[in-house]
Amino acid sequence: MTASTLENKVNATKTNEALLRTEGISAGYNGVAVVRDLNIEVRAGEVVLLLGANGAGKSTTMHTIAGGLSTISGDLYIDGVATTSPAHKRCSGALSFVTEDRSVFRSMSVEDNLRLGRGGVGAATDLMPELLPLLKRKSGLLSGGEQQMLTLARAIASKPRVLLADELSLGLAPLIVSRLLDVVRAAADKGLGVLLVEQHVRQAMRIADRVYVLRRGEVVLQGTAAEMRGRITEIENSYLSAGPPSAGTTPESKK
């Protein structure tokens, strides 16, 4: 075996290793599990779509992976290393987490918001040139779509290993949604691993590689995006329609 062949095999192995892996994760609120026995993987260069009806456990999963919620049981691995570190440590290193909340400092300019990110202004505007004419504007004066462009560009420019994106397109126009998802796909094509929760299911399927479907806190369906696109009507009708409300209120049940 030549040195170059060995190097190619090593690189291929690294590509197939999971950047993010959960093993039997259960998590919830006040000791009551909302998600149970989750086994999810995200590898370098792929967009993994997490689907489910309101209350299925999507946001609980994302906040647990980000470190905002402690696990009840199970293990979480980032780059093959088990971690129980808090959110501020996870999201200052290997992870970036983009939520539906448009996480901008409203009184600061777009430029200053970008300076707060680890990637800086140039890297972010390379991803989102639409931000260039807005650099001096206060972020609070941006439209919802512009704010989410800012948030997403800042997150990806920081060069995380894994991006968690939870409903980043909530309430936005279809053209903006398409633009945001295209940026996510382009970043994945450069090696970023992405776990995506998205209400625009058909648009998200367009850029996804694999799909997990949650129902009542458990993975009930998984496969490649190509397989899931062929079953999209079944998935929408059987798994994404809201069921009867459950007792109690959690962040999941508010969505």
73 in a structural domain: yes
CA 108 remoteness from chain centre: 25
Tokens 């456990």 correspond to: 57
In total, how many domains does the chain have? 1
How much is the pTM? 0.86
Residue 190 is part of a domain; what is its CATH number?
3.40.50.300
pLDDT (0 to 100) of residue 242:
59
How many CA atoms within 13 Å lie on the side-chain side of 93? 12
211 in any annotated domain: yes
Domain coverage including residue 38: 19-103+161-239
| Residues pairing with 183 in the sheet | none
Query: Does residue 247 sit within a domain?
Result: no
Q: What is the pLDDT of residue 149?
A: 95
Residue 94's closest CA among 21, 180, 19?
Answer: 19
Q: Please state at what angle helix 144-157 crosses helix 120-127, rounded to 10 degrees.
A: 120
Q: What confidence score (pLDDT) does residue 230 get? A: 93
Segments of 7-123 assigned E as strands: 18-29, 32-38, 41-43, 47-51, 71-78, 81-82, 95-98
Q: Which amino acid is at 209?
A: D
Q: Tell me what pLDDT residue 85 has.
A: 79
Most distant CA atoms of the chain, gap in Å: 62
Residue 206 lies in a domain: yes
Ordered mean pLDDT values, 10 residues apiece, the chain (255 residues)? 39 64 95 95 97 94 93 92 78 83 88 90 96 96 94 94 92 92 97 96 96 96 95 92 46 45
Does residue 217 fall inside a structural domain? Answer: yes
Q: Give the tokens for residue 19.
A: 């950047």
Three-class SS of residue 10?
Answer: helix
In a domain? residue 184: yes
